[in-house]
Amino acid sequence: MDIREKTISSEQVYDGRIIKLNVDRVICPNGREATREIVRHPGGVAVVPVDKDGYVYMVRQYRVPYDTIMLEVPAGKLDKGEEIEAAAARELREETGLTAKNMVFMGNFYPSVGFCDENLRMYLATDLSQGETDPDDDEFLNIEKLHIDRLVDMIMNNEIKDGKTIAAILKAKILLGR
């Protein structure tokens, strides 16, 4: 069975600072119509910066949707027209002050495929050197260095719940073990 849907109309109901919201009408494979709510997002990058002893530079950041401080890999949105790898290097530098001689693409991460088009690209960053941090004006975070094995344990214990961090750390752990 062809399980594709065909979009017949699209209405933008919100155009904001970071996201846009569209409400589309689609035709389902059975011929019936259905509504699809789609959050449009500029996309971004997530970086796992690992030093030669296996320690990862992580950030703790307040996240208003969950009203909690979360432990995450450094990440951020693409600037308009920015190249992906340049964005990864920029976010790493802004959030942790680090520069990486070696950046390996680890794959894409689609956070919530049912209603959002966000595309996050994951990188493993090694051969690090430390400089100054430079966070965004409205971004406040603390840096914490944790061993990757400790992070895998925290993921398995459900202490880390951030999706991109679970995916990026577990992929990095497998890559580093090869």
| Closest CB 126 distance from a copy of itself, rounded Å | 17
Lay out the sheet containing 68-72: strands in order across. Answer: 68-72, 55-63, 141-147
Contact 109, 68 (CB under 8 A): no
* Residue range at the interface with a copy of itself (CB under 8 A); choices 3-11, 48-56, 78-86, 93-101: 3-11
Residue 139 appears among annotated catalytic residues:
yes
CA distances from 28 to 5, 14, 33, 35, 129 (A): 5, 25, 6, 10, 52
Residues 97-126 that bind a copy of itself (CB under 8 A): 106-118
Is 96 a binding residue for a copy of itself by CB under 8 A? The answer is no
Binding flag, residue 170, a copy of itself (CB under 8 A): yes
Dihedral sign, CA of 160, 129, 137, 110? Answer: negative
Residues 126, 136: Cα–Cα separation, whole Å: 24
Catalytic residues: 139
Residues that bind a copy of itself (CB under 8 A): 1, 3-5, 7, 13-14, 16-19, 21, 23-24, 26, 28-30, 32, 34-39, 41, 60-66, 69-70, 72, 106-118, 137-138, 140-142, 152, 155-158, 161-164, 166-167, 170-171, 174-175
